Amino acid sequence: MLGLALDEALGTGPTFIFVMLLVSVPLNLAVLFFYTRHKARQLQGAARQKEEDISE
C-alpha cells in the first residue's frame, strides 16, 4: 500500500512498489527466523524444566 501511494503521489511508475517488495521479503524472512529461534528456545527451556521437575 505504501509503495502504491508513493508512486501515485510522486507520479513515478511502479518503482516504489518494487522497492518495497524487495525490502519486505528479506525483512519478513529475518523476522520469521528470529521469532522461530525465540520460540524454540522457550520450548527447550520448558522441556528442561519439566525434566528437572520429574527427576526430583
pLDDT tens per residue, range 1-56: 888 999 999 999 999 999 999 999 999 999 999 999 999 999 998 888 877 777 76
* Residue 7 contacts residue 16 (beta carbons within 8 Å): yes
Alpha helices for 1-56 (secondary structure H): 2-10, 15-55
∠ CA 45-46-51, rounded to 5° = 100
* Per-residue pLDDT, 56: 66
**Measured between alpha carbons, how far is 49 from 47 in angstroms, rounded to an integer?**
5
